[in-house]
Amino acid sequence: MWPMTTPAAVIVDATAYAQAVEDATRAAAAYYAGGSSPMDDDAYDRLARGIAAWEAEHPGEVLPDSPTGKVAGGAAEGDVPHTVPMLSLDNVFSPEEFTAWTESLARRVDREVARFAVGPKLDGLAVAARYHAGRLTRLITRGDGTAGEDVSHAIGTVEGLPETLAEPVTVEVRGEILMTTAQFEHANEVRIQHGGQPFANPRNAAAGTLRAKERAYTVPMTFFGYGLLALPETGDELAGRLDELAYSELMETAAGLGVHTSAGTAVPDVVVETPEQVVARVQEIAALRAELPFGIDGIVVKADLAADRRAAGSGSRAPRWAIAYKLPAVEKITRLLAVEWNVGRTGIVAPRGVLEPVVIEGSTITYATLHNPADITRRGLRLGDHVMVHRAGDVIPRIEAPVAHLRTGEEEPIVFPDACPRCGSDIDTSEERWRCAQGRNCHLVASLAYAAGRDQLDIEGLGTTRVVQLVEAGLVADLADLFLLGREQLLALERMGETSTDNLLAALDRAKEQPLSRVLCALGVRGTGRSMSRRIARYFATMDHIRAADAEAMQRVDGIGVEKAPSVVAEIAELAPLIDKLAAAGVNMTEPGATPPPPADADGATAEAPGDGGPLSGMKVVVTGAMTGNLERLSRNEMNELIERAGGRSSSSVSKNTSLVVAGEGAGSKRAKAEQLGVRLATPEEFAVLVADLLG
């Protein structure tokens, strides 16, 4: 079962009611005219239900414009009268509401309804197609239900609506015109080629296309019939026969005449007998929704038998013999806050939209796919735009289009990356889908460049460009290969003279001596950045002890909880071959100054935390501002390493638990906070004295 739709809007007084009616009228007019509505379906439904609730309490104050009192939509320059009004449908949103409807229907017809026809509620536009002697003569939109617009110019562009019927009958076929997903994509492509803005969704595309009279191009649409009725000119015999047919028989007749109906689809109209069977069928259709090649926004349930339909009759807005069982909206309007660029396994650089969270079908959506840069450009998206977000089933939500008329002018262009956001290499932009020039090697380049970085192995002269060169030359396929590079191999590379080669080899030699904490950090185990790597290395002291640790032992490291411990242990186990190779290449695997933990006692507790006994033992230290004197050359990471070697814990924010703030030149808010909280302050020079033993 899907979640219930959001509740009705709450209307508190007559002023709010008038505003609500105005908003709903404007949205409905835009919707039926095929324009882009400032409200998504869900918001509209909520508003309409709020209006109905208020009117029920204030029957004397109902405004003439209210969407509840008339056929939704209003006339869009309608000039062709309908022979029989084209009505709308009432909605239900849950099994309970549906049961209530069947009960009221049974009361009205004075018996249980014997058979229900259940089929898809097609998300398009209602039209009436008039056939005279089997020839399609006129196509009319619903308009305000009494009269609609003549859109006969579209005849010939609508699949499923034959220009000639199989028999020379005079009838009106009613149904829905829509664009299938494929037709919608095609229509947008053609429209963009002609310099137009893409349509936000298939419904808008069908509406816009149907009403466009003088377009330089035509794009196909699809018709689904759901009604067959006599025209005044229809012979009595046929008219009388149609009156007696069950809905299911009418549809068979229509199909027999050559009209497209739901019959050939994955969700054909079926006839069932009980309300329970209806609800079961509703759920089946809902489950198939995401895979359908066309959009549905609900399920239509109709009394099948002509006698039941006659007995139920119609109101001014909707028939009483049919109901729309609405499915939760799959499209909502929200804002595009940012665009992230992610690099996939194959090196594809794909944009992803970060959204203002919005609930669609019961789940909160915060990300949506944006296919590629060209697509962003085509859709004319900007940061801060209101966007239509579409989500069907479990598919990743996608951004359909900006809602251009909601722009404030504050929107900003989306900036495309000019280098691979993961490894920093060039991006191949020759195809629509951008790709890191490293392709599948992107990950390797990124991880090697990270390992060589200043806070990890600090290998001078090994930036991204050089890493790319080594990878492309096939000289390195993993981190350990770096330490196996030979002088001749390097010299053979372009732009590698004797000096650069010797410098790089020397830097690699120095890197082998880096403390275990940095080697561990260079391995890039998820969830273990610089400070976590230091904590692990200081706790276990040697790589062998780290590798011997199970999840329980891993949890004894400060900051590693039940969730993180097993993944760290598993990843280290996976890295075993690489670690062995690094050790064999002579890379240091111990943490200077740390001692391995004693074996755990029965409770799993260890005696003493490593680092105890140092000059900063038990202290929480924050460093801020520029370091001077002996500490001048130390990066912030190196300062933190120093603090931890001295038995302290480094932290980046000052609180009342902070023991010491080392404030260098230019220290600002952190020093102020320390003063305010009465936390001990030290200059870099004073601090250097404290840890003099460790500065060597």
Of the candidate residues 75, 87, 451, 646, the single one contacting ligand IVH (CB under 6 A): 87
Q: How many CA atoms lie within 13 A of 600 on its CB side?
A: 16
343, two tokens: 């690099």
How many residues sit close enough to ligand IVH to count as binding (CB under 6 A)? 14
Give the one residue of 40, 176, 411, 641 binding ligand IVH; rule: CB under 6 A. 176
Where does 18-105 show beta strands of DSSP type E? 80-81, 91-92
Nearer to ligand IVH, 123 or 591 (CB): 123
Check binding of 300 to ligand IVH (CB under 6 A).
Answer: yes
Question: Is 121 labeled as catalytic in the residue annotation?
Answer: yes
When binding is defined by CB under 6 A, the residue of 226, 294, 434, 687 that contacts ligand IVH is 226
Nearest distance, CB of residue 48 and ligand IVH, angstroms: 11
State the Cα–Cα distance between residues 356 and 681, nearest whole angstrom: 42
d(CA 344, CA 434): 11
Q: Contact with ligand IVH (CB under 6 A): which of 92, 113, 122, 594?
A: 122
At its nearest, how many Å lie between ligand IVH and the CB of residue 132? Answer: 23
Q: Which of 21, 47, 80, 89 binds ligand IVH (CB under 6 A)?
A: 89
What single-letter DSSP state applies at residue 207? H
b/e per residue 210-249 (b: at least 16 CB within 10 A): bbeeeeeeebebbbbbbbbbbbeebeeebbeebeebbbbb
Which part of the chain contacts ligand IVH (CB under 6 A), choosing from 6-14, 120-128, 495-503, 678-686? 120-128
For 127, 261, 569, the CA distances from 243, given in Å and listed in that order, are 20, 19, 74
Which of these segments, 119-127, 443-451, 489-497, 600-608, binds ligand IVH (CB under 6 A)? 119-127
CB of 119 to ligand IVH, least distance (A): 5
* Stretch touching ligand IVH by CB under 6 A, among 115-123, 185-193, 238-246, 652-660: 115-123
Q: Judged by CB, which is closer to ligand IVH: 117, or 654?
A: 117
Task: Quote helix, strand, coil % in the chain, to nearest 5.
Answer: 40, 20, 40
121 sits near ligand IVH (criterion: CB under 6 A): yes
User: Of 119 and 373, which has the nearer Cβ to ligand IVH?
Assistant: 119
Tell me which residue of 313, 473, 476, 288 sits closest to 392, measured CA to CA.
288
Q: Which is nearer to ligand IVH, 69 or 596 (CB)?
A: 69
Helix H or strand E segment including 224: strand 221-230
612's tokens: 């105890």
Nearest distance from residue 439's CB to ligand IVH, in Å?
Answer: 47
Task: Give whichever of 248 and 533 is closer to ligand IVH, judged by the CB atom.
Answer: 248
Distance CA 300, CA 320 (A): 12
Neighbours of 250 (CB within 10 A): 20
- CA dist list (Å): 39 to 48, 146, 682: 12, 25, 59
Q: Is there a contact between 649 and 621 (Cβ–Cβ < 8 Å)?
A: yes
Taking CB atoms, the residue at the shortest distance from ligand IVH is 126
Of the candidate residues 322, 370, 403, 622, the single one contacting ligand IVH (CB under 6 A) = 322
Cross-strand pairs, 172? 130, 229
Minimum CB distance to ligand IVH, residue 240 (Å) = 21
Residues 6+ apart with CB under 8 A from 667: 624, 625, 661
Q: For residue 610, what are its two tokens?
A: 């490593």
The CB-of-250 to ligand IVH minimum distance in angstroms stands at: 11
Single out the residue of 324, 549, 554, 568 in contact with ligand IVH (rule: CB under 6 A). 324
* Binding test (CB under 6 A) with ligand IVH, winner from 21, 126, 154, 423: 126
Among 34, 50, 78, 119, binds ligand IVH (CB under 6 A): 119
Nearer to ligand IVH, 123 or 641 (CB): 123
Residue 398 per-residue DSSP state: E
Q: Shortest distance, CB of residue 121 to ligand IVH, whole angstroms?
A: 4
- 411 belongs to the binding site for ligand IVH (CB under 6 A): no
Of 300 and 521, which CB lies nearer to ligand IVH in the complex structure? 300
Residue linked to tokens 């320390």: 674
Beta-strand ranges (E) seen in 273-330 are: 296-303, 322-326
Cα separation, 618 vs 644, in Å, equals 10
Residue in this structure with the two tokens 């695997």, named with its chain if needed: 589
Q: Is 392 in the site for ligand IVH (CB under 6 A)?
A: no
Q: Identify which of 128, 162, 158 has the alpha carbon closest to the alpha carbon of residue 222.
A: 158
Residues recorded for the chain: 696
Nearest-approach distance from CB 88 to ligand IVH, in angstroms: 5
Near ligand IVH by CB under 6 A, which window of 35-43, 117-125, 193-201, 638-646?
Answer: 117-125
88 near ligand IVH, rule: CB under 6 A: yes
What gap in Å lies between CA 69 and CA 6, rounded to an integer? 23
- Among residues 67, 143, 148, 319, which is the contact residue for ligand IVH, using CB under 6 A? 319
Q: Which residues are catalytic?
A: 121
Residues that bind ligand IVH (CB under 6 A): 87-89, 119-122, 126, 176, 226, 300, 319, 322, 324
